[in-house]
Amino acid sequence: MQVILANPRGFCAGVVRAIEIVERALQRYGAPVYVRHEIVHNRHVVDTLRGKGAVFVEDLDEVPEGAMTVFSAHGVARTVEEEAKRRNLPVFDATCPLVTKVHLQGRRYAKAGRTLVMIGHEGHAEVIGTRGQVDVHVHLVSTEEDVAALDLPLDTPLAYITQTTLSVDDTRGVIAALGDRFSDLIGPDVSEICYATQNRQSAVRDLCKVADLILVVGSENSSNSSRLRDLGADEGLPSYLVADGSAIDPAWFDGIERVGLTAGASAPDELVDSVIDALRKLGPVDVSQLAGVDESIQFGLPRELRDVPTPTQAAVISA
């Protein structure tokens, strides 16, 4: 069996930053560190951090007075920020800088007097946080049908923003529908849409050209991971979302010679390795990797944590 790895795959810069904030906060201040919502949408990552002393909560009223608190990579509403200030909770904000950029875009459009539309999925943590960061009502659309159902005058000055786990390709049809229906529409340039989402989707499309079956490593509640699986299915290939190697079903691979393997932006490399190990139990495996985009972007850490080594770095230093 040939296993062909997508490139890029797995962790993006925003996820790396968020996980490092939790790890370094634990190193500097000790356990427990309270994290509002899952730091990223991956069960393995959450469980690993929980084992190190992180406590995950959905509401700040679950956080004891004075306890170190981290906001997840998805961002939070202003009401959450205000509650943390009211309770004098020490907070590290692990919101992805690209999500923060969407917040700022939304505020800028609202300040200019435009009606705001967000392209995203109802109930997603990032959408909830973004809508709560803007002081005006935000209309949410996911499909072209949602655009048709917007109860707004056709000459309304409109602006759109997008959920970062949606790519240029995911949003193109909805943006076109907005432009076709409304005469005064503005929004961010396509180059401002999350690079990691677009790169991983483009890599899966390349993978579909050479594979017989697609495996995506990621959690069910990961929007970007689920979309990668859907892309494979859209190309007509059997496509499966797996948490790790334990989820592999040998029956999937009858008559399959080339397996395309990728991972969502919140899935670590070790889970990809566990899938390869599981495939090796089915027979000989030859692993190769497609050429792809080199992602060199890094996001800075909060000043208070920059000189704190992660557990891995600390082990190297002590050795």
Among all chains, which residue has been given the structure tokens 């139990």?
A: 281
User: Is the previous residue joined to 238 through a cis bond, with omega within 30 degrees of 0?
Assistant: no
Which amino acid appears at position 120 of this protein?
A: G
Any catalytic annotation for residue 126?
Answer: yes
The residue annotated as part of the active site, out of 38, 126, 192, 235, is 126
Rg (CA), the chain: 21
Backbone angles phi, psi at 239, to 5 degrees: -140, 130
Q: How far apart are CA 12 and CA 268, in angstroms?
A: 10
Q: Which residues are catalytic?
A: 126
